[in-house]
């Protein structure tokens, strides 16, 4: 039997929840430039599956890597860490 690898997890902010069962999560990371050693803030937007439509814009969520669910969705919302006010 094949052993499954560890799935990546990221924490980000929901920036859009207008689609049904899908949210757009923006993940912000600090990356160090190889040559100049300056810290650069890099952002990435991921489409994540939200089965219960519980996320709203501004929520902090934990997303987990999963199998491809559609053309752009490869992440699932694991849990809502902080609800937006």
Q: Which CATH class is domain 9-82?
A: mainly beta
Residues 6+ apart with CB under 8 A from 1: none
User: Where do the structural domains in the chain lie, given as residue ranges?
Assistant: 9-82
Quick check: 1 pLDDT over 80?
Answer: no
What confidence score (pLDDT) does residue 41 get?
97
Percent of the chain residues topping a pLDDT of 90: 92
Three-state SS letters, the chain: CCCCCCCCEEEEEEEEEEECCEEEEEEEEEEECCCCCCEEEEEEEEEEECCCCCCCCCCEEEEEECCCCCCCCCEEEEEEEECCC
pLDDT tens column, 53-82: 999 999 999 999 999 999 999 999 999 999
């Amino acid at each position: 039997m094949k052993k499954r690898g560890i799935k990546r997890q990221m924490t980000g902010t929901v920036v859009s929840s207008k689609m049904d069962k899908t949210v757009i999560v923006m993940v912000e990371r600090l990356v160090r430039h190889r040559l100049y050693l300056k810290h650069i803030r890099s952002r990435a937007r991921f489409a994540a599956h939200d089965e219960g439509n519980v996320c709203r814009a501004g929520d902090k969520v934990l997303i987990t890597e999963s199998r491809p669910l559609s053309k752009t969705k490869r992440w699932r919302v694991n849990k809502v860490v902080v609800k937006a006010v």
